[in-house]
Chains A and B, each alone.
Chain A
Amino acid sequence: MVRAVDPAETTPTPFAWAVHAEGLVVKAGKRVAVDHLDLRLGDGIHGLLGPNGAGKTTLVRALATVLKPVEGSLEVLGHDLTDHTDLRPLRRTIGYLPQEFGFYRRFTLREFVEYIAWLKEVPASEIPAAAQRAIDRVGLADRADHRMKTLSGGMVRRAGIAQAIINDPRVLLLDEPTAGLDPDQRLDFRALLRTLAADTCVLVSTHLVEDVAAACSDVILLDEGRLVFSGTPADLAEAGGTESSEAGGDSATERGYSSIMRAHREMG
């Protein structure tokens, strides 16, 4: 299906970066989870890596407008998120898959995606086609009219991705999108990401280093809320050295990840 191009989509943007953070501090409860982070993200697929508790989910939630920064600046598509007023225009342009993806169990997949489309203020006349397109893109067309509660874990994750892309977002935030997907589905997911990357800023938070290596145009490493590394997957792989080096991991990218994290902790 060919999508009509909105004139707004071809209008030059008044901002340099889709995501721009300077000295960003975000708390998760009382704990500082993102600590003076500087970040600039443009269109493309950005992998967000880090150990558990690194602040990945907190950063994604701040970008999704769930959490309000407590310090520093944060702009998404030129909207200042340090002041949570009039978020409505921005939210229309964001797609978000939370780490804990909640859904209404009694809805069918199609109903749920259409419901999210309505919440994202997709024009009513476009909702059925948009929902069908999103469901097709995640490979769940044959399950479209099944109740959400009957879907497997992997299918639910794909349903989550479908609802996240229903509004053709300019910024797509995916928190652990490949959790529960089998190898074939992960390959399909990477292919989907590549089709989105042309005019979208996609941030994929994951702990699967190989997903980042395979699908992302650049990588961000967080540890204890701080930026540890920013570069391309090739840069990350290079940091790992050879198979015989001390860094653990089966692939060059994993070794690079381990090497950088270890070096950062030894310095800290």
Chain B
Amino acid sequence: MSARVLGLELRRSAALWAGLAVAPAALTVAQAGNGMAVVIGDQRQALILMMPLATAVGAWQARRDRRSGTSDLLGTSPRPAWHRYAHTAAALGIGVVVAYALILVVAAVFAARVGAHYPVDYWVKSMIVTAWLTAAVLLGAAIGRAISWVVTPPLAALSMLVGLTAIALFTDTEVGPGPHPGTWLLPPAPSYDSYITLLTPEAARAQLVWAISCAAAAGLLYVATRWLPLVALGVAGAGLVAAMTLLPEYLHQGVQMDETAVVPVCTPEEPVVCALRVHPLVLDDLRGPGGEALTALSERLPNPPNRVEEAYYSWTGYPDPWMPEPARDVVSAEIYTDGSGRLALTPTETLWSVALGAGTAACPNVPQEMWDRDATARVVAAAWVLQETPPEPDPDGYFNWIPPPNVTRPAYEALLGLPEDVQYAQVAAYRDSALACTGEDRLALLLDGES
């Protein structure tokens, strides 16, 4: 490899444009407040856009000789053609990798400034994304060299976009034993991968092996003369076989909980509110409404909770979700964060989120036909604790799941119509049931005292 020629290609080829192909990844920096796992996860999904762009740039670069009319001149040079292509391929690869690395560094700096979480496999996931980007730009170059038409770059990009979109739309990633674990080998990752999960070592190795072998095969296809296309196919095939043997038996077994991400970070003084390790900035926003809700709960409930913790759950433990154990003295509040890692709820929404279900988390095992009744019970219990009328549903906001007022308000008034000691007793019974997540009709328990 000639450093002089490589430098020349970096300056004068489409290597810089290849770097711009990863621009969609820059948008994910806005998620840095939620930790690097979210950033990388979003970047993985952004491959649907980045890979077609990289393919187009590679195909454009590969048409340079045709565009420039240099085939006679370069075809009579003593140096084998693959030397030229290898330097161009290296420049394209470096363009993509450096641009993506810069974005990662910027995101990491933002994440570090807000104290967001850096799981170790942040590097592994980013290497997988890098390998896919490199594979895309080199595959584009191989296509552009083989089919040197003006329309090749846009057609190659469009084909890649359609292919990846179809994969995203039609791949079965439902939780459970159904989906094939090979889904992990597709560029956009299954949605199991979240801010509190890590790839298992097996799944990470399988994805890395497959993505790198695809990049190597695409590179060989681009520089190929004579027998090298067969070697490229061999490399891709060997990578696929190796990856398949590394994959877990079921799709959902490709991720595991990042137990360090869900460690609670709490305020040192009363009221005690806690956020997940990945969302340290939430504490400032949660303290006021969380404390107000704790006060209301302590005034209305026997054995009231004394702290609020950010809720979480993950299907990594299928068939049971991974979620905090219900505890009488802890409210597990379902809250949302924005890209900067701050609370995405208004103080009122936060207050209600803590008071929902009289300070209990939603149970994961509610049958679908009972969802509306369970939701109504949760809202009515919160309204009783806060002594406020149930809010109206907000299609675009946090309250989008709340049943309409003609359901919640009659139920709330029915509860208020009961004698006061009965109200206290039935709310306490409701709370016991919600903490135990037993399969009862909790709206009936709340309003009638029996399910």
The CA of A200 and the CA of B64, in the complex, are separated in Å by: 32
Residues in chain B near residue A103, CB distance under 8 A: 68, 70, 73
- Is there a chain A Cβ closer than 8 Å to B78's Cβ? yes
A61 touches B79 (CB 8 A): no
Residues in chain B near residue A163, CB distance under 8 A: 73
- Is there a chain A Cβ closer than 8 Å to B165's Cβ? no
A102 touches B71 (CB 8 A): yes
A111 touches B12 (CB 8 A): yes
Residues in chain B near residue A116, CB distance under 8 A: 73, 77
Closest to A101 in B: B73
Residues in chain B near residue A106, CB distance under 8 A: 12
A102 touches B73 (CB 8 A): yes
A96, A107, A118 pick with most chain B CB within 10 angstroms:
A118
Q: Which of B4, B71, B75 contacts A118 (CB 8 A)?
A: B4
Number of interface residues of B (CB under 8 A): 21
- Is there a chain A Cβ closer than 8 Å to B419's Cβ? no
The CA of A124 and the CA of B1, in the complex, are separated in Å by: 11
Closest to B65 in A: A102
Q: Which of B4, B12, B75, B76 contacts A107 (CB 8 A)?
A: B12
A104 touches B70 (CB 8 A): yes
Chain B nearest CB: distance from A216 CB in Å?
A: 23
User: Which A residues from 93 to 134 make CB contacts under 8 A with B?
Assistant: 94, 96, 98, 100-107, 111, 114-116, 118-121, 124, 127
Chain A nearest CB: distance from B8 CB in Å?
A: 6
Chain B nearest CB: distance from A29 CB in Å?
A: 15
B78 touches A118 (CB 8 A): no
A61 touches B72 (CB 8 A): yes
Chain A nearest CB: distance from B168 CB in Å?
A: 36
Q: Which of B4, B64, B68, B77 contacts A119 (CB 8 A)?
A: B77
A106-B12, A107-B12, A111-B8 are known contacts. Are A119 and B72 too (CB-CB below 8 A)? no
The CA of A64 and the CA of B71, in the complex, are separated in Å by: 13
B76 touches A91 (CB 8 A): yes
- Is there a chain A Cβ closer than 8 Å to B69's Cβ? yes
B12 touches A66 (CB 8 A): no
Closest to B71 in A: A102
Closest to A148 in B: B68
Residues in chain B near residue A119, CB distance under 8 A: 74, 77-79, 84
- Is there a chain A Cβ closer than 8 Å to B5's Cβ? yes
Q: What is the interface of chain B mostly: helix, strand, loop, or mixed?
A: helix
B72 touches A124 (CB 8 A): no
Closest to A167 in B: B78
User: Which B residues from 41 to 90 make CB contacts under 8 A with A?
Assistant: 64-65, 68-80, 84
The CA of A103 and the CA of B172, in the complex, are separated in Å by: 50
- Is there a chain A Cβ closer than 8 Å to B2's Cβ? yes
Q: Which of A96, A104, A115, A121 contacts B76 (CB 8 A)?
A: A96
The CA of A89 and the CA of B72, in the complex, are separated in Å by: 18
B72 touches A100 (CB 8 A): yes
Chain B nearest CB: distance from A138 CB in Å?
A: 16
Q: What string of 1s and 0s marks CB contacts (under 8 Å) between A56-93 and chain B?
A: 00000100111000000000000000000001111110
Chain A nearest CB: distance from B178 CB in Å?
A: 52
A124 touches B2 (CB 8 A): yes
Closest to B77 in A: A119
User: Which B residues from 76 to 106 make CB contacts under 8 A with A?
Assistant: 76-80, 84
A118-B2, A124-B2 are known contacts. Are A98 and B79 too (CB-CB below 8 A)? no
A107 touches B8 (CB 8 A): yes
The CA of A90 and the CA of B2, in the complex, are separated in Å by: 22
The CA of A163 and the CA of B70, in the complex, are separated in Å by: 13
The CA of A87 and the CA of B75, in the complex, are separated in Å by: 11
Closest to B13 in A: A106
Chain B nearest CB: distance from A126 CB in Å?
A: 12
Closest to B7 in A: A111
Chain B nearest CB: distance from A243 CB in Å?
A: 41
Residues in chain A near residue B84, CB distance under 8 A: 119
Residues in chain A near residue B80, CB distance under 8 A: 88
The CA of A91 and the CA of B21, in the complex, are separated in Å by: 38
B68 touches A124 (CB 8 A): no
The CA of A106 and the CA of B80, in the complex, are separated in Å by: 23
A118 touches B5 (CB 8 A): yes
User: Which B residues from 234 to 285 make CB contacts under 8 A with A?
Assistant: none
Residues in chain A near residue B65, CB distance under 8 A: 102
User: Which A residues from 143 to 165 make CB contacts under 8 A with B?
Assistant: 163
B72 touches A66 (CB 8 A): yes
The CA of A132 and the CA of B84, in the complex, are separated in Å by: 22
Chain B nearest CB: distance from A85 CB in Å?
A: 13
Residues in chain B near residue A64, CB distance under 8 A: 72, 76
The CA of A101 and the CA of B70, in the complex, are separated in Å by: 7
Chain A nearest CB: distance from B2 CB in Å?
A: 6
Chain B nearest CB: distance from A187 CB in Å?
A: 26
Closest to A98 in B: B72
Closest to A127 in B: B4
Residues in chain B near residue A66, CB distance under 8 A: 72, 75-76
A105 touches B79 (CB 8 A): no
The CA of A124 and the CA of B64, in the complex, are separated in Å by: 24
A115 touches B72 (CB 8 A): no
The CA of A66 and the CA of B71, in the complex, are separated in Å by: 9
Chain A nearest CB: distance from B106 CB in Å?
A: 28
The CA of A163 and the CA of B74, in the complex, are separated in Å by: 11
Q: Which of A65, A96, A104, A118 contacts B79 (CB 8 A)?
A: A118
Residues in chain B near residue A94, CB distance under 8 A: 76
The CA of A151 and the CA of B352, in the complex, are separated in Å by: 72
Q: Which of B2, B5, B71, B77 contacts A120 (CB 8 A)?
A: B77
Q: Which of A89, A102, A120 contacts B70 (CB 8 A)?
A: A102
Beyond A64-B72, A98-B73, A118-B2: 13 further Cβ-contacts under 8 Å? A66-B75, A66-B76, A89-B78, A102-B65, A102-B69, A104-B70, A105-B68, A106-B12, A111-B8, A115-B8, A120-B78, A124-B4, A163-B73
CB pairs A–B below 8 angstroms (5 shown): A91-B76, A102-B65, A107-B8, A119-B79, A124-B4
